[in-house]
Amino acid sequence: MSTLYVDSIEPKTTGGNVSLEGITKITNTPSFKAYRSSSQSQTQNNVTQIIYNTEIYDSDNTYDTGTGRFTPAVAGKYFVNASVGIDGADANGRLRIYIYKNGSNYAFASYGIGDTTDDGGVHQVSAIVELDADDYVDARIEYTGTDNIVGQQAKTWFEAFKLIGA
């Protein structure tokens, strides 16, 4: 393989085209980021799906704000990351945040909650998930307390993007 170094490229005065034959454009899309814009109730000690109801961006219209699901439409490996905030979280409680694939637990993180006098609990989980075009992922929590899920862009958000070359 050769390397081409140039200081500038000038247009031809007599017309013509530059050929990009053999060059493949690779992007890390589809991708999205969404957040919960208002509080959402959850059922104590039960797994509750989080509906992130406001999109920040959605490159290929593959995230559904009504169902909280990301369905990529393109097979590949995806980095998936979810965050949830619980304001006023019960001290000495436990919160688990999950990534579900096609309705089944794929990955989770579990947190013990101590002193919550500052800002309650904000917890995250991340995973690399291999998805077919019609697979879907969503985020869920299981919490020992009775507090609601916080609706706030900085605390309760969900994102995913396709990994290039994976």
Is pLDDT of 82 > 70?
yes
How confident is the model over 86-118, as pLDDT tens digits?
877 666 678 899 999 999 999 999 988 766 555
Structure tokens, 160: 């995913």
> For position 21, what pLDDT does the model report?
72
Give the end-to-end CA distance of the chain in Å, rounded to a whole number. Answer: 22
> For position 26, what pLDDT does the model report?
75
Is pLDDT of 10 > 80?
no
Structure tokens, 156: 């309760």
How confident is the model over 144-163, as pLDDT tens digits?
888 889 999 999 999 999 99
Of 25 and 128, more confident = 128
| Structural domains in the chain plus CATH codes | 31-162 (2.60.120.40)
> For position 17, what pLDDT does the model report?
64
